[in-house]
Chain A
Amino acid sequence: MKNFRRSLGIVFIVVLALFSFPACIKDHCKRTYTYQTYEPIYRTKDEVRANIRSNPARDISNPGKLFILGRYIFLNEVDKGIHVIDNTDPSHPLNFAFIDIPGNLDIAVKGNTLYADLYSDLVTLDITNPSQVQLKKIISNVFPYRAWGGNFSPDSGKIIIDWKQKQVTETYSCDGGYRKYLSDAQLFFSSAGPSSPSASVSPIGKGGSMARFALINDHLYTVSTTQLDVFNISNSNDPVEVNHLNIGWSIETIYPFKNKLFIGSQSGMFIYNVSVPYSPAPDGQFSHVRVCDPVIADNDYAYVTLRSGNSCQGYTNQLDILDLRIFANPTLVKTYPMTNPHGLSKDGSTLFICDGADGLKVYDATNPSNLQLLKRFEDVVTYDVIAFNHIALVVAKNGLYQYDYTDTRNIRLLSKIVVNN
């Protein structure tokens, strides 16, 4: 009994001793983060402007919007500039020059003049000789300032020309709680993009359905998230901003057709009449659920692709065809289910739709109420397309493709410029 009591006493002493060392009776937590940071690489404004010229060709690594004019393809390299591709022979396109324009996402070409954004500035270039483009004019601060993730604020006196990527590992005690949020240096997104391909029209230039620049006769129309800007380009090399309209929110794309502008937003499609070119007037709208929606149009119908995912909200992935014969009140003709549709283009009765990972789909759209699938290219993750003069240029994740659709029952791949990520 004596031993028993002694043993019991020892047990209690041990328990008591354990409680006396709170450092041991504790949840220790050590957190190790590995993440990418991006440090801006700056140049002065003078240095940047001096470098806006035809520099040696570069590999395509992050293609954005697309514009074709005559035998040339102008392909945006997101936030870096513009690839100039000689497409005289679509079977053998030649990437022969690169125009350095930091912060560039959008392009439009009229005749021998190219318009591009340089962050919040509008740049005008003479491209009479694409091998030796000349900077003609820069209008400062006409587009919204780029906003960055985190609390990062760029040096306002300089221009970001690139980002230096670094992998950082941090270790610290966490003791409960979740991950820390992105540091100021982590910039994974910006207010302006990377969005996607192309701009539009005039002496023969043609852009894609993802464009934020559109040309009608002597006026350039640009959209940003909330605004529509109008530039008079009757003197091509000397654009002048003539109007600035706040037209809503989550504006994404603009597509010109005749004297109308079709503006895609995350909440619907807006039609503006530009009979008075410097003063676009609302002419109709079609609302839909909150998703992304590139739009194109022809004489009687608008084709709107709605998609969800990533920065686009909602759960809708479909093609809506709208009857435009009464502009003020577009009516839905038919909805076709899609996988994740992005850009689209129509030439005659042939409709091309980039359906994300589901590939490129080609339809006979003779009867919009009854589209007939002609061909589906499954092995490309497509983003935007321009169908023009029997050649379909397709921007895909892994390259720039060109298809000959002279015979729509025998569409064939002509060439592919590989993207080097």
Chain B
Amino acid sequence: MKKIALFILMLAGTSVYAQEKTRTVKKFHAMGSIGMLAGQSPVKPVIQFSSGMLFNKYYTGIGLSFDAYRFISFPLFVEGRMQFGSKREGFIYSGLGYNIPYNGKQSEEDPFATKSKYIGGAYFDVGLGWKPRGHISFSAGFSYKELTNNSTYVYECLIAPCPEEQSHVLYGLGRILAKMSIEIGR
């Protein structure tokens, strides 16, 4: 977790440094996206919001997702994007951040667990996009999120405290992310 935070800070610092160094025109840029996540588990929807600054063909910003793949979670990430092509219709993007878990009832509950809690983990995505014209863009790539489920099982006994068993399950979920975005700015 510390490493992720450090990386996010470094990424943000790099973008600020780049802004001062190049002295290019900077513009506010924001995106709202909906998409699908497909992998080993059933396909689930994703909704993303990201906003930041566009420096010529480079974009950097902060985003938040609603990610329903296997476990509901909310990835918070720093996103970078580089446009290419004569009209900058193509772009590659990458995001890195922290996957915030939802600690309410998940679809994949262990009925034997006495207590259950979800802990967040790393989030990462990378992909390619295409913005034909206007404010609509399409992109596809790889997305990865981690989370840990900590469960406690308490066994029956006559006199407390009863024996307990602890389970920590680390999930690393790799998926294909395909999304359509509406972009503001440029």
Chain A residues with CB under 8 Å of chain B are 3-4, 6-8, 10-11, 14-15, 18-19, 24-36, 62, 174, 178-179, 188-189, 193-196, 310-311, 381, 383, 397
17 contacts between A and B (CB under 8 A): A4-B132, A11-B138, A30-B170, A30-B172, A31-B167, A31-B168, A62-B159, A174-B169, A178-B110, A178-B112, A179-B112, A179-B113, A194-B158, A196-B158, A310-B158, A381-B160, A383-B159
Given B128, B151, B157, B164, which contacts A14 in the complex, CB threshold below 8 Å?
Answer: B128
- Give the residues in chain A near B175, CB-CB below 8 Å: 25
- Give the residues in chain B near A14, CB-CB below 8 Å: 127-128, 140-141
| Residue pair A193, B158 in contact (C-beta under 8 Å) | yes
Chain B residues with CB under 8 Å of chain A are 38-41, 70, 84-87, 89-90, 110-113, 127-130, 132, 138-142, 151, 153, 155-160, 162-176, 178
Cα of A49 to Cα of B155 in the assembled complex, Å = 33
CB distance from B6 to the nearest CB of A (A): 24
- Give the residues in chain A near B113, CB-CB below 8 Å: 179
| Residue pair B140, A36 in contact (C-beta under 8 Å) | no
Given A15-B140, A179-B112, answer yes or no on A27-B85 (Cβ-Cβ < 8 Å): no
- Give the residues in chain A near B168, CB-CB below 8 Å: 31-34
Cα of A26 to Cα of B173 in the assembled complex, Å = 6
CB distance from A193 to the nearest CB of B (A): 7
CB distance from B142 to the nearest CB of A (A): 5
Cα of A29 to Cα of B70 in the assembled complex, Å = 12
CB distance from A244 to the nearest CB of B (A): 27
Cα of A8 to Cα of B137 in the assembled complex, Å = 11
Given A3, A29, A179, A193, which contacts B87 in the complex, CB threshold below 8 Å?
Answer: A3
> Can you add 20 more A-B contacts, CB < 8 Å, to A3-B85, A179-B153?
A3-B86, A3-B89, A4-B89, A14-B140, A15-B176, A18-B176, A24-B142, A25-B38, A25-B176, A27-B40, A28-B173, A30-B169, A32-B169, A33-B168, A34-B166, A35-B165, A35-B166, A178-B111, A189-B155, A383-B159
| Residue pair A26, B85 in contact (C-beta under 8 Å) | no
Given A7-B90, A27-B39, A32-B168, answer yes or no on A15-B178 (Cβ-Cβ < 8 Å): yes
Given A14-B127, A27-B40, A179-B151, answer yes or no on A7-B85 (Cβ-Cβ < 8 Å): yes
CB distance from B148 to the nearest CB of A (A): 9
